[in-house]
Structure 1
Amino acid sequence: MTDRGAPLLTVVLPSRDLVGDAAASLIARCHALVASGLDVELLVVDDRSPVAREGAEAEPFRAWIRETAAAGSRVRLVVGDGVGVAAARNRGAGAARGRYLWFVDDDDDWGPDGAATLLDAALAHDADVVMADAVLVRHGRVGRAQVVADGRGAGEASGARVVEDLVAGRVSGHLWNKLLRRDLVVAAGFPDLLRHSDLAGLLRLLPAAGRVVRVPTPVYTYRVRDGSLLTGDRMRWRDLPDCLDLAREVGPAPAVEVFAVVKVAVPLFQDVARRGTSLPPSEAAEARAWVRAALTPRRIVATLRSGRPVAALGALVMRAAPRVYAGVYRRRRAGSVRPGRG
């Protein structure tokens, strides 16, 4: 139940070790949000950065938070446990006072316009979840920005229907282009995964959502950089198989068969290939063995019949000639990097 005087929206911002120009840019985004006139609070979860541990006051972003909070603004800082983004999001959801939550990252582009678009749609339709479009930019890569079109097909749907779309790959597993009712998030929680906890969290909470609204408007720009959570060397290979277990619990069987290929086995194999020697050999071998077992002929055929011939062909090559696939994947990935930017 929302407290009296509580805001309609809490923007939850996990942050860690942000300094320099990145901190200045984030301060500008946060200031624009709290000065926008929206009924919003900004809740920053400091995921136990060195600044938080040492108690230093000079770091610009956290200094701004303390000064702004002391002035009576709806800006609050809570300290996380330093064990990962899933725990930080759970801490933020538990401390939030808003009816709705919007989870954002500290190194992406977002602001009051996106917040207003999501909140207006939620209030107009009494929605449990709002999904909008977003833009994904891969730094240092050749090619145009990718549109994450979760807002396509504007209108209403049940949570159960959106689960089917999520498992079938018609909806992304990202959080930053979705507004979520706080009590749904608190009840479901984000699983303790190093990566892909956003996808796993959506698989948990969407079945309980009564009304989901789509808005075909970009509200967020996600910037993928080398060293980020998705592209860095840190990984726990069981995270994606754990997502598959959750999908089996909530998704229709035919769609789960395709999910196992397109959203789990193929990206897991690519992660292992990309990381090379940074992943312990025993873990890499376990992951490759799991992928081979997961890529059954039945699942590959189901992927082909679902209208994904390229994914089905890739899975077939991955299963029959994994070294060939890994070599081609590494060469294609290296060829997409702009010279001098890595």
Structure 2
Amino acid sequence: MYLSNPMVSVIVPVYNAESTLRRCADSILEQSYPDLELILVDDGSKDASPLICDSYMQKDARVRVIHKPNSGASATRNLGIAEARGHYLQFVDSDDWLTPDATEKLVAAAEAHQADLVIADFYRVSGKLVASKHRVMPVGVMTRREYASKMMENPASFYYGVLWNKLYRRDLVVQHHLEMNPALRICEDFMFNLEYLRVARYIVAVPSPVYYYVRTKNSIVSQTYGMTTLKIRLAAFDEYKQFYMDVLDEKAYQKARLKVYRFLVDVAMDGVVLPKPAPGTRSLKAADSPETLDDDWDL
């Protein structure tokens, strides 16, 4: 059922975000679309974040605050989903913020096209620099298969893997018992999106940016990952491959198979500095192209 003014539940996981939380919360509460609730889920923060959350709840009836012991981003978002009352779900990270009409644009697209998923462009913020991320997506409604084929063209892009540039139907999430995997430190948003796409019939893209994504220092610099992280990334690849085998027919999958394999390289090497190789062995180098690192998402 599609409504004229459906409520949107905006879920923000909060952990030690005292320096950015106000900017984030203000951008949500000042949206041109007023029919929303803001759910701030404090994940055991040790700074002033809990007090900031409570202050917003005291001054705006649309804000609900949940305080809980630290358990990670996945469990925090899952709790937000469980407490949500809106027709749609929207996710925002506490160090990022929305454009003033973000929610209005997402809801308008969903309602106009009776879409199960809305996906939008975004801005990348690095220091004082702001750049728009332009994606080549068809305007209008796509089927699951059409969307999957388009996603295949740039499989490791932030655009497809993250939660925060999308609008989801809460009833589909609840009906199909979808949630983030608390056991995963990385890839949980990507895995959630793949599961959601299995039940979403129609997807629509919003061409204009609606979100300011702040790329922090820790996400820019190379990091050393252990075998656990690599195994998670390989498991993500297996899910990705299975998704395409399920969504596309055999002929279409075989035609696009090399792009799926390219994804394995992207997710295995994105931003990774591998441990020093043993003597006499060959070392592997992560891609160092600025454009590649800029477009890929941090699994």
TM-score range, shorter chain: 0.7 to 0.9
Partner residue of 2:150?
165
Q: Distance in 2 between matches of 1:231 and 1:225?
A: 12
Partner residue of 1:11?
10
Partner residue of 2:205?
214
Change beyond 3 A, Cα 1:23–1:90: closer
Please identify which structure carries the higher strand content: 2
Q: Distance in 2 between matches of 1:211 and 1:136?
A: 27
Q: Distance in 1 between matches of 2:12 and 2:225?
A: 21
Say whether residues 1:266 and 2:266 are aligned partners: yes
Fraction of identical pairs, as percent: 28
Change beyond 3 A, Cα 1:203–1:167: farther
Asked if 2 retains the 8 angstrom alpha-carbon contact of 1:177 and 1:219, the reply is yes
Change beyond 3 A, Cα 1:183–1:177: same
Partner residue of 1:176?
164
Change beyond 3 A, Cα 1:99–1:246: same
Moved more, 23-32 or 99-108: 23-32
- The alpha-carbon deviation at position 100 of structure 1 amounts to 0.5
Structure 2 gap ranges (5+): 246-252, 294-299
What secondary structure does 1:149 align onto? coil
Partner residue of 2:180?
190
Asked if 1 retains the 8 angstrom alpha-carbon contact of 2:132 and 2:209, the reply is no
Q: Distance in 1 between matches of 2:69 and 2:147?
A: 32
> Could you give the per-residue CA deviations for residues 225-259 of structure 1, whole angstroms, max 9, x where no partner exists?
11249966677222221211211222043435423
- The alpha-carbon deviation at position 69 of structure 1 amounts to 2.5
Q: Distance in 1 between matches of 2:18 and 2:91?
A: 21
Change beyond 3 A, Cα 1:114–1:197: same
What secondary structure does 2:271 align onto? helix
Say whether residues 1:145 and 2:131 are aligned partners: yes
- The alpha-carbon deviation at position 188 of structure 1 amounts to 2.2
Letter in 2 for 1:104: V
- The alpha-carbon deviation at position 45 of structure 1 amounts to 1.4
Moved more, 238-247 or 90-99: 238-247
Letter in 1 for 2:259: V
Partner residue of 2:77?
89
Letter in 1 for 2:271: D
Asked if 1 retains the 8 angstrom alpha-carbon contact of 2:27 and 2:98, the reply is yes
Please identify which structure carries the higher helix content: 1
Asked if 1 retains the 8 angstrom alpha-carbon contact of 2:10 and 2:37, the reply is yes
TM-score, L = length of structure 1: 0.68
Structure 1 gap ranges (5+): 52-58, 286-319, 337-342
Letter in 2 for 1:153: P
Q: Distance in 2 between matches of 1:234 and 1:241?
A: 13
Partner residue of 2:297?
none
> Could you give the per-residue CA deviations for residues 185-221 of structure 1, whole angstroms, max 9, x where no partner exists?
3422223321122111111110211221122111112
Q: Distance in 2 between matches of 1:162 and 1:100?
A: 20
Q: Distance in 2 between matches of 1:229 and 1:47?
A: 24
Change beyond 3 A, Cα 1:270–1:219: closer
Letter in 2 for 1:145: A
Q: Distance in 1 between matches of 2:236 and 2:39?
A: 27
**RMSD, aligned α-carbons:** 3.4
> Could you give the per-residue CA deviations for residues 119-147 of structure 1, whole angstroms, max 9, x where no partner exists?
11112222211111112234499xx7351
- The alpha-carbon deviation at position 175 of structure 1 amounts to 1.6
What secondary structure does 1:227 align onto? helix
> Could you give the per-residue CA deviations for residues 45-76 of structure 1, whole angstroms, max 9, x where no partner exists?
1122125xxxxxxx2x5334324434561101
TM-score, L = length of structure 2: 0.77
- The alpha-carbon deviation at position 110 of structure 1 amounts to 0.8
Asked if 1 retains the 8 angstrom alpha-carbon contact of 2:88 and 2:167, the reply is yes
Which structure has the bigger radius of gyration?
A: 1
Say whether residues 1:41 and 2:37 are aligned partners: yes
Greater RCO structure (CA 8 Å; 6+ sep): 2
Q: 2:98 aligns with which of 110, 129, 142?
A: 110
- Give the paired residue count: 271
What secondary structure does 1:271 align onto? coil
Q: Distance in 1 between matches of 2:190 and 2:220?
A: 14
Q: Distance in 2 between matches of 1:168 and 1:79?
A: 41
